[in-house]
Amino acid sequence: MSRFGATILDADGFRLSAEERAFFRDANPYGFILFARNIDNADQVRALCGDFREAVGRDALITIDQEGGRVQRLRAPLAREWRAPLDHILSAGEGAERAIYLRYRLIADELHRLGIDSNCAPMADLAFDDTHPFLRNRCFGETPGAVARLARAAAQAHLDGGVLPVLKHIPGHGRATADSHYDLPRVDARLSDLEALDFAPFKALNDLPLGMTAHVVYSDLDEAPATLSRIVMDHIRGVIGFDGLIMTDDISMKALSGGLAGLSRSALAAGCDVILHCNGLLEERAEVAEAAGEMTQTAQRRAEAALDARTKPVDIDISACEAELATLMGEQVYG
């Protein structure tokens, strides 16, 4: 098998243009990511997923951001409208672990029926009092044990539904007080505190097949953001022990400064396996794809292992899941 391109890329609209088809055929990206601009109706989404896979001639990974709350690309009537994860968890109380499993099992079912086989969830970032509002209510809790337990339930729900979870944001975004879509967050906590708190849920979930980096500086490790830091990436691989495929967070986010080609090369040199590029022109996607090139042999191994982790969904009774979730949550199930 020829190596995959070291990219996950997006598309402009509801179906691929001839130019996009030709580009994807040549660039051979590992996978694709969907956004709201790519979603109209169920038949159209399934057809677009078919376009992606036909363009590269294989059953490529197709992912999406479907956390629930503010971050959900599929909306009614295609999908259930969910409350923010932390609000959901707080309402569920002692039933939170089961409620989170059911929530993401239903989400996985929605995705799988549309041909989408990955989701950029769960987040294992800790919520702190000063966590930036863009992130805080997307977290699963304030303690490492709770976050690890709930994120594990969410991850297993995805896997049971035939959908690969993407663990994010490695090694931990929760202390960030800036929104990395617009600024580069800096965390000055001591490494010992990071290990005991922020990094601990990721270590507990280090067996998952896919992960996503944090565009965050951890000054006690390095002055470069994690995505571009060999020191931080070595820590993720060695100390945290994550050996799954690591994709960058969107390489075009404003937390990172510099051109797309240089950033892509720097992220791969630091130890990332795949460059995620979103919301750009076709010319920008081509710039990223050319800079990223093909996966390394090690990245290819991780990429193939992740694809091999896709399984046929475990049969479930959707109505029974909804009823059980309603019992756990009362009237606080959906957004």
Which has more confidence, 335 or 155?
155
SS3 8: strand
- Are 104 and 157 spatial neighbours (Cβ–Cβ below 8 Å)? yes
Q: What is the pTM of this model?
A: 0.96
Q: What is the pLDDT of residues 229-248, one digit of tens each?
A: 999 999 999 999 999 999 99
What is the reported pLDDT for 58? 97
Give the pLDDT confidence score for residue 332 in this predicted structure: 66
Return the number of other C-beta atoms located less than 10 Å from residue 19's C-beta.
10
Task: Give per-residue pLDDT as tens, 99-148.
Answer: 999 999 999 999 999 999 999 999 999 999 999 999 999 999 999 999 99
Among 181, 193, 207, 220, which one carries the catalytic annotation?
181
Q: How far is CA 255 from the centre of its chain?
A: 17
Looking at residue 205, its pLDDT comes to 98
Residues 162-181 pLDDT 10s: 999 999 999 999 999 999 99
Q: Residue 215: its pLDDT value, please? A: 97
Q: Which residue has the tokens 């959908």?
A: 163
pLDDT confidence of residue 330:
77
Residue 218 has phi, psi (to 5 degrees) of: -110, 95
Q: What is the pLDDT of residue 27?
A: 97
The rounded distance, in Å, linking the Cα atoms of 103 and 218 is 32
Three-state DSSP at 93 gives helix
Instruction: DSSP for 244-274, please give it.
Output: SEEEPSPTTSTTS-S-HHHHHHHHHHHT-SB
How far apart, in whole angstroms, are the C-alpha atoms of residue 117 and residue 132?
30
Give percent of the chain with pLDDT exceeding 70: 99
Over residues 74-97, the mean pLDDT reads 93
In a domain, 335, yes or no: no
Which tokens sit at 33? 């990511």
Instruction: Say yes or no to pLDDT of 335 above 70.
Output: no
**3 state SS for 27-44:** HCEEEEEECHHHCCCHHH
Averaged pLDDT for residues 211-225: 98
The per-residue pLDDT of the chain, averaged, comes to: 96
Cβ atoms of 206 and 196 within 8 Å: the answer is: no
In the chain, how many domains are there?
1
Q: Which residues pair with 164 in a beta bridge?
A: 118
Residue-wise pLDDT tens digits, 237-296: 999 999 999 999 999 999 999 999 999 999 999 999 999 999 999 999 999 999 999 999
Catalytic residue, chosen from 249, 250, 273, 277, is: 249
Burial of 246 (0-12, 13-18, 19+ CB in 10 A): buried
Q: How many whole angstroms separate alpha carbon 8 and alpha carbon 17?
A: 18
Cα-Cα-Cα-Cα dihedral sign, residues 273, 279, 282, 288: negative
Q: Is 38 among the domain residues?
A: yes
- 105 three-state secondary structure: helix
Q: Give percent helix, percent strand, percent coil of the chain, each to the nearest 5.
A: 45, 15, 40
- The reply to whether 334 falls in a domain is no
Q: What pLDDT sits at residue 1?
A: 62
In the chain, the DSSP E strands lie at 5-9, 29-34, 61-64, 66-68, 71-72, 118-119, 164-165, 167-170, 186-187, 210-213, 217-218, 245-247, 275-276
**CATH code where residue 14 lies:** 3.20.20.300
- 112 among known catalytic residues: no
Reported as half-sphere exposure (CB side, CA atoms, 13 A), residue 220 has a value of 9
Structural domain for 64, as ranges: 5-329
- Residue 6 is predicted with a pLDDT of 98
pLDDT tens sequence across 10-55: 999 999 999 999 999 999 999 999 999 999 999 999 999 999 999 9
**Residue keyed to tokens 């929605």:** 110
Give pLDDT, residue 329: 86
Distance of alpha carbon 66 from alpha carbon 288, whole angstroms: 25
- Are 152 and 124 in contact by the 8 Å Cβ rule? The answer is no
The answer to whether 317 is a known catalytic residue is: no
Q: Are 295 and 30 in contact (CB under 8 A)?
A: yes
